[in-house]
Amino acid sequence: AQSVAQPEDQVNVAEGNPLTVKCTYSVSGNPYLFWYVQYPNRGLQFLLKYITGDNLVKGSYGFEAEFNKSQTSFHLKKPSALVSDSALYFCAVRPGGGGADGLTFGKGTHLIIQP
């Protein structure tokens, strides 16, 4: 069975600084990896995904993530944080190349951007 670990419950970053939200995964075979963001009292919104190809994936709102197969990681990054980036971020995985399509999510990381 697959699993996702987000080791930090909360990440605090000053506005304008770079941010990183960490994610590591475990899955059989090649992974399909996703990042979603959740604002208070809202459903999740898709940010970006890695399926195959270039290890650096660019997504919405200036976010990007780097797939590292050897470290089984898919950290979310942004060069310059905005206060509006404050939200709950989820990393998710599913096995690639067939099989169940439902995503396995991490516990989530609260990102707080301080003005």
Partner 1 sequence: DARVTQTPRDKVTEMGQEVTMRCQPILGHNTVFWYRQTMMQGLELLAYFRNRAPLDDSGMPKDRFSAEMPDATLATLKIQPSEPRDSAVYFCASGFGLAGVEEQFFGPGTRLTVL
Q: Which residues bind partner 1 (CB under 8 A)?
A: 32, 34, 36, 41-46, 49, 51, 90, 94, 96, 98-108
With residue 58 as reference, give the H or E element that holds it.
strand 56-58
Contact 90, 44 (CB under 8 A): yes
82 vs 9: CA distance, rounded Å:
19
**Tokens 């992974």 identify what position?**
31
- State the nearest-atom distance from the C-beta of 41 to partner 1, in Å: 8
CB of 39 to partner 1, least distance (A): 11
Identity of the residue, 14 or 112, whose beta carbon is nearer to partner 1 in the bound complex? 112
42 or 58: CB nearest partner 1: 42
